[in-house]
Amino acid sequence: MATRTARELTPAPPVLTARAVRRAFGPTTVLAGVDLDIAGGEVVALLGGSGSGKSTLLRILAGLDREATGETTVHGTAAVVFQEHRLLPWKRVAHNVALGLSGPDVAGRVDRALAEVGLADRQRAWPAELSGGQAQRVAVARALVRAPDLLLLDEPFGALDALTRLRMQGLLRRLRAEHGFAALLVTHDVEEALLLADRALVLDGGVIAEELPVPLGPTRTPDDPAFGALRRRLLDRLGVPTP
């Protein structure tokens, strides 16, 4: 709580700055000048209709798109979790997590990351032997083990069943509280955004069309009236009629 208030008073230095990000595929402009700042330790949800360019923006921020224009800077390290787990099928779980790691005690770091997502006992498993939720937890561990300052998440729980999704949201909240990483969470789920984020953005027409602080404190439930009000506002902005 204390750190939280301190952060609100003196904003942490940004971990990500993006200016005038543009991307077109042929004649269609998908991103028409996106500006975005994420402060250290801040979780930002990015909402938007299907095809609004959320994944395109995230790939640009992850440095995976060379044809985009504009300026993006990540201060520190970034790690990515995609909608699909994207584990290498020919590497056991532990080797997937260790992919590209260097420095001292790689095995120990991998151990701890897997323990944190509750999969300490699946080190030697092949990805194909895991359930969807387990595989996604390994993908989270693979990102976490890099001790990122910024986590880029592209609908990380979108392919999971509702129960698993709730558990994963809890896991992400816990990991964030422990490690204090900043995150950009792309989601199409308004409730997920309000449960996890400090701020919600709506991508529409190729720009950030709406920005909404989510001042809901650390313990959040959808039953909270403030939660309901925010949800209505976001759904409204996304063009979903609410009663």
Give the interface with ligand ADP as residue ranges (CB under 6 A).
Answer: 25, 30, 48, 50-56
- Closest distance between Mg ion and the C-beta of residue 7, in Å? 29
- Closest distance between another protein and the C-beta of residue 157, in Å? 17
- How many Cα atoms are found within 13 Å in the side-chain-facing hemisphere of 148? 24
- Order of strands, sheet of 69-74, starting from the edge strand that comes earlier in the sequence: 28-39, 14-25, 69-74
Pairing of strands 182-186, 199-204: unpaired
The footprint of Mg ion on this chain (CB under 5 A) covers a number of residues equal to 1
- Say whether residue 29 binds Mg ion (CB under 5 A): no
In the numeric block, the tokens 């750190």 are attached to 3
Quick one: 89 or 218, whose CB is closer to another protein?
89
- Say whether residue 188 binds Mg ion (CB under 5 A): no
Per the DSSP assignment, residues forming a β-bridge with 81 are: 153
Element (H, E) at 151: strand 150-154
Quick one: 30 or 214, whose CB is closer to Mg ion?
30
Quick one: 52 or 93, whose CB is closer to Mg ion?
52
Quick one: 67 or 223, whose CB is closer to another protein?
67
- Closest distance between ligand ADP and the C-beta of residue 238, in Å? 12
Helix, strand, or coil (residue 200): strand
Helix, strand, or coil (residue 184): strand
Which of another protein, Mg ion, ligand ADP, none binds 56 (CB below 5-8 Å, type-dependent)? ligand ADP
Quick one: 30 or 114, whose CB is closer to ligand ADP?
30
Which one of residues 55, 84, 92, 125 is an interface residue with Mg ion (CB under 5 A)?
55
Residues that bind another protein in the complex, under the rule CB under 8 A: 59, 62-64, 78-80, 82, 84, 86-92, 99-100, 125-129, 142, 146
- Closest distance between ligand ADP and the C-beta of residue 153, in Å? 12
CB atoms within 10 A of CB 216: 16
Token pair, residue 64, equals 């995976």
Q: What are the residues whose beta carbons fall under 8 Å from the beta carbon of 58, sequence distance 6 or more?
A: 46, 80, 152, 154, 184, 186
Q: Which parts of this chain interact with Mg ion (CB under 5 A)?
A: 55
